[in-house]
Each structure stands twice: as C-alpha cells, then as structure tokens.
Structure 1
Amino acid sequence: MISSGTGREPEAVLLGDLNIDLFLDIPALPRPGGDGVATHQRTGFGGSAANTAVVLQRLGIDVALLACIGDDDWGTAALSGISETGVDTRLVRRTVAEGTSLNVVAVTPDGERTMLAYRGASPLLDVDAVPERFGRHLHLSGYALLGDPQRAAAFVAARRARATGATVSLDVPVDPTACAEELLALLPLVDVLVIGAEEARALTGAGDERAALRALAARGPAVVAMKRGADGALLHADGTFTDLPAPRVDVVDSTGAGDSFGAGLVFALLRGADPGTACAFATACGAAAVAVRGAGASLPGRAEVGAVLGQSPEPQRAHLRALLGDSG
C-alpha cells in the first residue's frame, strides 16, 4: 500500500476522475443555437472523485486518489492543484493516448450549474493501476462505470476492497441509464450508496422515492442515501427511512455539492456515527459546498462545515460537531 503525504497509510482510496473545470458565470442559459455571454470565468481542478477526496482530506481523513489524466499542461495543473490540498496523488496515472478531461460549467444566478464534459483520459484507467489494498475504505464515482477499462478497474477495486475487509461506497452523480446494468451489478459489492432522487427513480423504475431506495437496498447496500438538494436527504438504513432537512444557506454555486455530501457521509461513518447522524452531517457538508463558488480547491473543510453545523438544534448540534473533535 502507498503512504500518504503525511507519512501515514491513507485511510481511504477514491477511484474516479480528475479533470480541469472551466466555470462560466452566465445570466441565463441560451436557447439552442444561441449565445451565452459570461460575466466571469475561472478555472481549477475538479471531478467527482477528486472533489470528494478534497473534502474528506480537509475533514481529517488521509486519502489517495486513483485516476488517469493526460500527459499535458491541463494534467499538470490538475495534479498540482489537488496535491496542494494534501490528497495523495501517487496512484494518479498519466497517458499520452488522450488529453486530460475538461468540464465546462455554466453557473446561473440561482446557483444551478449546467455541465458539458469531455472525459478524455479518465476512462483509460486500467486494472494494472489498482492497488491490492485500500486502507479502511474505497469510494467509487459512478462516472467510472461509463466505459472500460476504467469500469473494469472499478469492479476489480471493489472486489479487492471487500476481500481485504475494507468498506465500499458508490456515488452516482451521472445519468444511470447510460450504465444501468453495470451499476446494478456492482451494488452487491457496495456498503454505502449515494444517489440523487431522479437517478434512483431512473435506475429502479420506481415512481416513489422510498420504493426506489428500498429496491436499491435490496441489492446489497446497507446504507442508501438520496440527495434531494434544497429538500435535504432521504436515508434508508436498517430497514427504516429517515428524512433529513437541508440546512439553510445562501446558494452561490451547486457544483460539487453532491460530492461534498458523499464525503460527509463517508467521513461520519468512518468515525463511528450511526447512519442517521452520518446523513445529517452529510447534509451540512453539501450545504457548505453550495455557499462557495466552484469545486476542487474551493470546497469546504472543517471550519466551513462546523459553521453550518452551528445551525443544528441541540442536542444534535453537539453530537454532530463532536465528529469534528469540536465540543462547541
């Protein structure tokens, strides 16, 4: 197993994408064939797995990223950017076969983001890059299931993780109809599933959110958390459902909010929280993310999440903040 930048073995490995994000603030999305003139632009690294890795690292869990980027200037910029956050990048592979993945993200004044992505080198991560061990936890991004060889690498990683006693989580930030068969085949190897409401309904064919979560849980995951944006989250665990409201924050940019939610859930579970407490913590992480512009290096850490947790009612507030080692 690799060692992290702190000299310790990473507690978790995240498999997925590392890319460059080009953010464009636009007044409104243009009509088809029209022009959207941005009022501001900014660039930085991103990718669902990369975003989740950053938040986990900032919350206090040493993590390593398993991804593939191009041997180009964008790849160098992405690698440098995420390395500066403390995420271990020694499992990141580079290739000359494709360029680094690029996402163009249009953000409207309501904070909603619309993304156009070219995955580039990301799907070229192969089985040879997969380590034998994963610390305590392996986190998979659903984007990894869109195509081989990255898809095969994800399945091998999940099997190896389970064989060595590590837990496995899967986040589904992608339209599942593009890889429904693969997603369902992976679920028996997954302990924790994070999925959006629309994605859960599309994957199961269930019109009701609870029916969708029940169907997904029946395939293997012990914890299934549904991301519902401003409506919070719906959790299925131990045969019961729990509705969790979203903390109130001023929404600036929704990019990375789902990734931050997943990071919060994994963090809290690894720190021994019960699923309900972990999901409440995850909603705070998601809320902290929508209050900042961009993803990657802009995403929240302990201070920002702690500030959102300060809105929680007692005694839940103290219990949640204790996960951060904060008794305040």
Structure 2
Amino acid sequence: MTNRVTVIGSLNVDTILEIPRLPKPGETLAMHNQSFAGGGKGSNQGIAAGRAGADTHFIGKIGDDTNGQFMINSMKDSGINVDQVTVTKDAKTGQAFILLDDEGQNSILVYGGANQKLNVDDVKNAEATIANSDFIITQFETPMDVAEAAFKTAKANDVVTILNPAPARQAIPASLLAVSDLVVPNETESQTLTGIEITDEASMVKAANKMHDMGAKCVIITVGSKGAFYHTVSGDTGFVDAFKVKAVDTTAAGDTFIGALSSQLNKDMSNLTDAIRFANRASSITVQRMGAHPSIPTLAEIEAAEAAAK
C-alpha cells in the first residue's frame, strides 16, 4: 500500500559554490565551479518521499519570479502534487548558497524569502490535503506557528507527524513537540534542542528521553556516516548502521533520509528498523552525487543498490 505523505516547508533555489576549503576571515578564495539546483529542506524531503514511492503533496510558498517557477517544475518532474504551493508578491523565492569543500562537507547560507510568508491560512486552505495523509513532515525553514497549526490539524485526523527540528533552534514550543509523533534531528540539532552533547549511545538515550519528556513519542537521531539511532517512548531502542560510501556532497542527505523513511514507514511504526535501513540506503546514494534535488534517488535506484549489496 502506498503511503500518502504531505510535506509543509521550504522551497529554495540552491547556488552551489565548489571550493577547496572554507575561506578564512578576510580571505579571497577561487572557486572550482558554480552550479544551480532545486533545494530547501522541505522540497528535498518531499522529492525524496515522492521518488521513493510515496503519494506526495506539498504545502509551501514561492515568489512571483523565475526561481519560483523553476521550483514548481522541479517538484512536478518528481510527481509531487503542488496544488497547495501559493505565490506571494511580497518576497522572492527562497535561496540557499552552499559552500562545498573538497572533502564533500558543506556550509549553507539561507535566504528565507517567500518561505517566511507561509501562514496559518495556508494550513487552513490545505486541511483536506492534510487530513487525507498518512504522514505529515515539517522543518524550521518556515514559521513555527505554521508547523504547529499543521500538526494540530494532522493529529485531529489521525495523521502521523514527523518533525525535523532543523535548522537547529533552542526555543521550540512545548505545544509543537506535544503533537510530534516522530522527531528526527541530527546530532547537532539534538544537542541544541536538549543541551546534551552526543558522544555515544548512552548520551543518545539521555537526549531521546529528554525529547520524550518534551512530548515526542519516537526519536531518531541521525549521525551522518555512522547511521541512525532510534528510541521510542515505550523503550524500544537501537542503532542502524549507515552504508559505507565515498561522499562527494552531503547536501540533502538528512532530507533524503526523512523523505525516504516516510515512504516506507507503517503508521504504527512497527517496521521502524526496516524503514531506517531503507532511508540509510537512500541517503548513501544521495551523498555520492552533487546537488540537492539532482542527487535524490528513485525507488528503482534504491532497490538496485540494495540488491547489488546482497
């Protein structure tokens, strides 16, 4: 059965600047290359869900500009329903500027633009879309009150909520976490949220328990090339190792994980470890390619990689 996934979040056009290393303060550094791609944490997660087989809808906002149309086309090309993506004349389409070094690590500067114009009325207009979903995903590149309104609508309709607390913020309303079924931070975001440094599995358990105390039902902490740790409020816990590959660009790896996870996860999370393994496989493909949208794999590619490993 195909999962129905709704993503509410950001749409950005990424400018990727390939550099040997990050420049020091006051330093001028030559670039290897410059390229453009669709991105934004929200749209990355939506495309990852859609390409991995989910029936995916997107709620977001773009500017009245060519970048906005570029993003609409990019989403449609991956089979994403964009009926709930609206246009504002008050801001330009979101953008991100990605500094990518020779080791495949990145630093990202984000212009929120139209993403910050998304509002609670947009959620109300999309109530039927949310109510008809199995899962809804959001992040923090759009306003917090919008995320909470969407999750409350979801919970009123038995829709499973997935919160990616990124970019990291310390002040997250308890009312939002209380309606978050699954919280998926990376280790940095987990530390920002809980104040607990992630150094080993014991610290992950401690951080997860603190998130449970805040209201989260299930926690997955992604740890880059190591894999993903999971912990449920009932005490189920474990670590699913990542697949060993050579990364050339880690952009969208975490977003691919979340989108791919939502495409496979059962609503009761009874197949949590299998869904995490699938998401790890999808992310391992993403990091071997350049860009955000261009790097996100299809279901056929994920299944082929899994078959080749056996």
User: What's the CA shift for 1:273?
Assistant: 5.1
- The one-letter amino acid paired with 1:259 is D
TM norm structure 2: 0.90
Give the number of aligned pairs. Answer: 297
Aligned-residue offset at 1:154: 1.6
- Among 266, 276, 285, the alignment partner of 1:279 is 276
User: SS of the residue aligned with 1:224?
Assistant: strand
The partner residue of 1:136 within 134, 137, 141 is 134
Q: Distance in 2 between matches of 1:111 and 1:95?
A: 35
User: 1:141, CA displacement in angstroms?
Assistant: 1.4
AA aligned to 2:214 is R
Asked whether 1:174 is paired with 2:171, we answer no
* Unpaired stretches in structure 2, ≥5 consecutive residues: 198-202
Partner of 2:220: 225
- 2:95 aligned residue: 102
Please give the TM-score of this superposition, normalised by the length of structure 1.
0.85
Kept after mapping to 1: 8 A contact 2:3/2:262: no
Query: 2:227 corresponds to which letter in structure 1?
Result: G
Contact 1:61 1:267 (8 Å CA) reproduced: yes
Which residue is equivalent to 2:262?
266
Given the superposition, is the C-alpha separation of residues 311 and 249 from structure 1 closer, same or farther in structure 2, using an over 3 Å criterion? Answer: farther
Equivalent residues of 2:265, 2:272 under 8 A apart = yes
Matching of residue 30 in structure 1 with residue 27 in structure 2: no
What do the CA deviations read for 1:27-56 (whole angstroms, capped 9, x no partner)?
Answer: 111111212321111112111110011111
Within 2, Cα distance between the matches of 1:159 and 1:294? 33
Q: Distance in 2 between matches of 1:293 and 1:80?
A: 19
Is contact 1:50-1:82 (8 Å) kept?
Answer: yes
| Structure 1 residue ranges, 4+ long, deviating more than 6 angstroms after superposition | none
Instruction: Let me know the Cα RMSD of the aligned residues.
Output: 1.9
Given candidates 182, 187, 196, the residue that maps to 1:192 is 182
> Deviations along 1:233-290, whole A, 9 cap, x unmatched?
1111231321111101121100000001111221221487521222222211221211
**Contact persistence 1:256–1:295 (CA under 8 A):** yes
Kindly provide the amino acid, as one letter, of the partner of residue 169 in structure 2: P
| 1:225 partner amino acid | I
User: How far, CA to CA, are the matches of 2:3 and 2:246 in structure 1?
Assistant: 34
Cα pair 1:70 1:96 within 8 Å, conserved: yes
Judge conservation of contact 1:53–1:64 (CA < 8 Å) in 2: yes
Alignment partner of 2:75: what SS? helix
Correspondences of 1:1-328 after superposition (within 5 Å): 11-130=4-123, 131-133=126-128, 134=130, 135-144=133-142, 150-177=143-170, 180-182=171-173, 184-207=174-197, 208-237=203-232, 238-270=234-266, 274-310=271-307
**In 2, Cα distance between equivalents of 1:118 and 1:308:** 35
Check whether the contact 1:247–1:311 (CA below 8 A) recurs between aligned residues: no
Aligned residues of 2:287 and 2:295 also touching (Cα < 8 A): no
Per-residue deviation, residues 270-314 of structure 1 (Å, max 9, x unmatched): 48752122222221122121111111143111133224424666x
Work out whether residues 176 and 203 of structure 1, in 8 Å CA contact, stay in contact via their aligned partners in 2: yes
Conserved in 1, the CA contact under 8 Å of 2:60 and 2:84? yes
Q: C-alpha displacement at 1:221, in angstroms?
A: 2.7
**C-alpha deviations, 1:211-234, integer Å up to 9, x for none?**
001111233333211010011111
Q: Once the two structures are aligned, what percentage of the paired residues are identical?
A: 27
